[in-house]
Chain A
Amino acid sequence: MNVLKSLADRDRVFDFLVPVESPVDVRHGPILYLEDVTVSFDGFRAIERLNLTIDDGELRCIIGPNGAGKTTMMDIITGKTRPDAGRVWFGSRHDLLTMNEPEIASLGIGRKFQKPTTFEALTVFENLELAMAADKRILPTLTARTTGEVRSRIEEVMTTIGLVELRHRPAGILSHGQKQWLEIGMLLMQRPRLLLVDEPVAGMTEQEMERTAELLTGLAGQQSVVVVEHDMGFVRSIARTVTVLHQGSVLAEGRMDQVSLDPRVVEVYLGAEADEEVA
């Protein structure tokens, strides 16, 4: 029925350049708020009574050993997985558990996947164009035209992510690092209020990592950013506040130097990492 409605809804023509104002209400506190969230798969508790608060404009790193529930947490926030119990609020007005993925996305939550997922058959330019904040209903999409202003916005982002020369190449031929960048660029086109970034530097060289770090820290302030990462060096270079997940709940939270001294953290995570490095 909604399709018919959107087909009939012809009087509303959006100007793509008006940034879509996120309706999120952050006057009374944090932008993201998870309370007592629990989810299990086949009896296995992936997340257990997880509590997490992200403030507006914050850059938060989330670390934890394999199976700590980092990706599952992202799935819950973006509506891909429904928790068995708990509450998830975006600002003080939006209950994310009542919404589906596109609704959550259009509220201003952008997500970068663990595996870089770009549209490989489409060009860099087209990838960014699709990601751009715009009226994403059927008919406006069908009749959309790529105006000069749209172009310049895309050019801007392409410059930021360093893919200007490759604009007409299909995303499928990009290197792994370039795909990661393209995906971050797509997030930028979305102009989200909250960015969820899952392992942004996987498969990147040292220099690429540095640029990513710059980019993410540059974003914080205007946007809230949550980074899930394994690479401790990278986390140290960008982290202000770090949350350590272990077995589906928060083990420790605080500044990186504090957290890394926490004996429990050292035991479950850093210790494990040290072993890995030895091996």
Chain B
Amino acid sequence: MRMIRSLVQGLLCLVVVALAAPAAVAAPDDDGQALLEALDTRSYADKGEAIEALVASGDERTRRWLDALLDGKLQRHQDTGRFVVVLENRGRQWPVADALSGERLGEMSRRELDRIGINNALRGQLHSTLAVLDLRVDDVRARREAARELLGNVEAAMLAPLQQRVADEADGEVRRLLEQAIAIHRLGQGDAAAVEGLAGSLNPEARAALRAAARSDDVALAEAASGALAGIEQKLKLNRGVETLYFGLSLGSVLVLAAIGLAITFGVMGVINMAHGELMMLGAYTAWGMQQLLPGQPGLALILSIPAGFLVAALAGIAIERSVIQFLKGRPLETLLATFGVSLILQQLVRTLISPLNRSVVSPEWMSGSLMINEGLSLTLNRLFVLGFALLVFAGLMLVMRRTRLGLEVRAVTQSRAMARAMGIRATRVDILTFALGSGVAGLAGVALSQLTNVGPNLGQNYIIDSFMVVVFGGVGNLWGTLVAGLSLGVINQVLEPWAGAVLAKILVLVFIILFIQKRPRGLFPQKGRAAEG
């Protein structure tokens, strides 16, 4: 294997050399030789100057030489004094090319070669020097990357070319970064005016420079730097606030998804469905199964699993309703126990048929990655999608409840079962459909969850108590209540978490709810009047 690989590499090198050759061979090249000679010195300070001279020369081979120097591949033949670039430094015999001409020289023994050594300081200098070089490429993204590299790494010698670059640069982002890089350098030199250029920057290097400046003996400088730092802190705090809010809303959206189906079945039928979490689990497994069916197409699989998850969970819900719940009309506590039994069976079924181990569902490409708001804040896309999905499902349910015949009948049955029946509404049919709808939404919640966590038999269990809390908190039979309660519980949880730790935060939320229902026993949005007495 190795032979083949090195053969291929050798061939590639040949091609490269062949392409580079005409330019290199054109004329004997004393300038290049001199520049490289300067590098071959014991003093690292001299080497530093030599590097600067190299850059200043504008020689187009600079980039190649510096890269090689950085990797320790710029070497000099002991006998001939010829500068070579090592192409492959494995084994004893190294393939090398002439540094000046790029001509391939075959293999040399590593003993014949002397490395032009560098130390850490030089390495840093090289990095920033290369970054300046990279600023000249055409690709905007590469230029931004290079500019970012320069933050905190600007040397005095680079100032002039950098300022030139700022003037020439077309891209605003690159210009801003470069200005900051220069400002950091100036600040390091004690230039108080540079503070202004860094105010409001969230970059860690900028902050480090400001902190250093704030400690300086120059009172004016220290004050200016402290002021700028305070401003940055403010901005960071805001960032953290937004981030907490985002995570809170994300957690909340999951809670809303999990609880909203529950709220429907509980509100309409008075049924506490303890197997609701397992219906979510079925939805999540549907998403997983869909991916197994469509390997390599996670996006399509995910989109297909939305209706599929709904359907699977809804059918399971209908099965539960017909086989168990319909026999327990008017006995909510017994229903709770029976559905708990169902949840045990479903869990064990999945453990036996699929596996007790967790499965992971791949996120499609358009859902991974994150949305960058500013340098200190980026929002992960999958959470954003789930948040949007939750709102969409909520809006959809609202529409079903408000605008369709089913919704009308459901609301009628919720308010007075007997009266609705007297009006000719088939309450049993409404029950089945409601339960199917609630279960289907659980399935959707499961599909969404599969994008955030691993899919396992215990997935539902982890959410069931929380989602009941949401329903209790929001008030039964009120979708808006569920939405507000879910999102606010999510946010409360996230706000408490850094302060109290995850477990304690959960406990505090539970205590909060217990205390809350002291004030409002029927939740945030209670049904008033007679309907509530049912």
Q: CB–CB under 8 A between A and B in the complex?
A: yes
> How far apart are the CA atoms of A44 and B529 in the complex, in Å?
10
- Nearest residue, chain B, Cβ from A81: B529
Query: Which residues of A lie under 8 Å from residue B5 when comparing CB positions?
Result: none
Task: Fill in one digit per residue for A30-49: 1 if any B CB lies within 8 Å of its CB, else 0.
Answer: 00000000000110101000
Query: Which residues of A lie under 8 Å from residue B528 when comparing CB positions?
Result: 41-42
CB distance from B475 to the nearest CB of A (A): 13
- Nearest residue, chain B, Cβ from A71: B530
Q: List 7 A-B contacts (CB under 8 A).
A: A41-B528, A41-B529, A41-B530, A42-B528, A42-B529, A44-B529, A46-B529
- Nearest residue, chain B, Cβ from A43: B528
Task: Fill in one digit per residue for B66-96: 1 if any A CB lies within 8 Å of its CB, else 0.
Answer: 0000000000000000000000000000000
> How far apart are the CA atoms of A46 and B528 in the complex, in Å?
12
CB distance from B416 to the nearest CB of A (A): 14
Task: Fill in one digit per residue for B188-201: 1 if any A CB lies within 8 Å of its CB, else 0.
Answer: 00000000000000
Enumerate the 7 nearest inter-chain pairs by beta-carbon distance, A residue then B residue, closest first: A41-B529, A41-B528, A42-B528, A42-B529, A46-B529, A44-B529, A41-B530
Query: Which residues of B lie under 8 Å from residue A46 when comparing CB positions?
Result: 529
CB distance from B385 to the nearest CB of A (A): 37
Name the interface residues of A38-95: CB closer than 8 Å to any CB of B.
41-42, 44, 46
Query: Which residues of A lie under 8 Å from residue B529 when comparing CB positions?
Result: 41-42, 44, 46
- Nearest residue, chain A, Cβ from B532: A41
CB distance from B84 to the nearest CB of A (A): 89
> How far apart are the CA atoms of A42 and B415 in the complex, in Å?
14
> How far apart are the CA atoms of A42 and B528 in the complex, in Å?
6
> How far apart are the CA atoms of A41 and B528 in the complex, in Å?
6
Chain A residues proximal to chain B, CB less than 8 Å = 41-42, 44, 46
Task: Fill in one digit per residue for B493-534: 1 if any A CB lies within 8 Å of its CB, else 0.
Answer: 000000000000000000000000000000000001110000
Chain B residues proximal to chain A, CB less than 8 Å = 528-530
Query: Which residues of B lie under 8 Å from residue A41 when comparing CB positions?
Result: 528-530
CB distance from A70 to the nearest CB of B (A): 13
> How far apart are the CA atoms of A46 and B529 in the complex, in Å?
9
Question: When A and B form their complex, what is the total count of cross-chain residue pairs whose Cβ atoms lie within 8 Å?
Answer: 7
Query: Which residues of A lie under 8 Å from residue B530 when comparing CB positions?
Result: 41
> How far apart are the CA atoms of A42 and B475 in the complex, in Å?
15
> How far apart are the CA atoms of A41 and B530 in the complex, in Å?
9
> How far apart are the CA atoms of A223 and B528 in the complex, in Å?
34
Query: Which residues of B lie under 8 Å from residue A44 when comparing CB positions?
Result: 529
> How far apart are the CA atoms of A42 and B525 in the complex, in Å?
11
- Nearest residue, chain B, Cβ from A39: B529
CB distance from B263 to the nearest CB of A (A): 19
CB distance from A265 to the nearest CB of B (A): 25
> How far apart are the CA atoms of A42 and B530 in the complex, in Å?
11
CB distance from A156 to the nearest CB of B (A): 34
CB distance from A113 to the nearest CB of B (A): 11
CB distance from B261 to the nearest CB of A (A): 26
> How far apart are the CA atoms of A44 and B528 in the complex, in Å?
10
- Nearest residue, chain B, Cβ from A41: B529
Residue from the set A41, A44, A46 with the largest chain B CB neighbour count within 10 Å: A41
CB distance from B218 to the nearest CB of A (A): 66
- Nearest residue, chain A, Cβ from B533: A80
CB distance from A68 to the nearest CB of B (A): 14
> How far apart are the CA atoms of A144 and B530 in the complex, in Å?
36
CB distance from B14 to the nearest CB of A (A): 86
> How far apart are the CA atoms of A44 and B531 in the complex, in Å?
13
- Nearest residue, chain B, Cβ from A44: B529
> How far apart are the CA atoms of A44 and B527 in the complex, in Å?
13
- Nearest residue, chain A, Cβ from B530: A41
- Nearest residue, chain A, Cβ from B529: A41
> How far apart are the CA atoms of A86 and B528 in the complex, in Å?
20
> How far apart are the CA atoms of A46 and B531 in the complex, in Å?
14
CB distance from B503 to the nearest CB of A (A): 32
CB distance from A3 to the nearest CB of B (A): 17
> How far apart are the CA atoms of A46 and B530 in the complex, in Å?
11
> How far apart are the CA atoms of A41 and B415 in the complex, in Å?
15
CB distance from B209 to the nearest CB of A (A): 61
CB distance from B527 to the nearest CB of A (A): 8
> How far apart are the CA atoms of A212 and B528 in the complex, in Å?
34
Residue from the set A42, A44, A46 with the largest chain B CB neighbour count within 10 Å: A42
CB distance from B418 to the nearest CB of A (A): 12
CB distance from A276 to the nearest CB of B (A): 17
- Nearest residue, chain B, Cβ from A42: B528
CB distance from A241 to the nearest CB of B (A): 28
CB distance from B224 to the nearest CB of A (A): 59
CB distance from B333 to the nearest CB of A (A): 16
CB distance from A62 to the nearest CB of B (A): 18
> How far apart are the CA atoms of A41 and B157 in the complex, in Å?
79
CB distance from A76 to the nearest CB of B (A): 13
CB distance from B181 to the nearest CB of A (A): 63
CB distance from A69 to the nearest CB of B (A): 12
CB distance from B189 to the nearest CB of A (A): 70
CB distance from B478 to the nearest CB of A (A): 12
> How far apart are the CA atoms of A65 and B6 in the complex, in Å?
100
CB distance from B461 to the nearest CB of A (A): 36
> How far apart are the CA atoms of A41 and B529 in the complex, in Å?
5
> How far apart are the CA atoms of A44 and B530 in the complex, in Å?
12
> How far apart are the CA atoms of A243 and B144 in the complex, in Å?
86
CB distance from B529 to the nearest CB of A (A): 3
CB distance from B291 to the nearest CB of A (A): 47
> How far apart are the CA atoms of A82 and B528 in the complex, in Å?
12
CB distance from B428 to the nearest CB of A (A): 24
Query: Which residues of B lie under 8 Å from residue A42 when comparing CB positions?
Result: 528-529
- Nearest residue, chain B, Cβ from A80: B533
CB distance from A237 to the nearest CB of B (A): 30
CB distance from A92 to the nearest CB of B (A): 32
> How far apart are the CA atoms of A26 and B396 in the complex, in Å?
61
CB distance from B305 to the nearest CB of A (A): 41
CB distance from A161 to the nearest CB of B (A): 27
- Nearest residue, chain B, Cβ from A46: B529
> How far apart are the CA atoms of A41 and B522 in the complex, in Å?
14
CB distance from A72 to the nearest CB of B (A): 9
CB distance from B115 to the nearest CB of A (A): 85
> How far apart are the CA atoms of A42 and B529 in the complex, in Å?
8
CB distance from A36 to the nearest CB of B (A): 21
> How far apart are the CA atoms of A101 and B530 in the complex, in Å?
17
> How far apart are the CA atoms of A72 and B530 in the complex, in Å?
9
CB distance from B415 to the nearest CB of A (A): 12
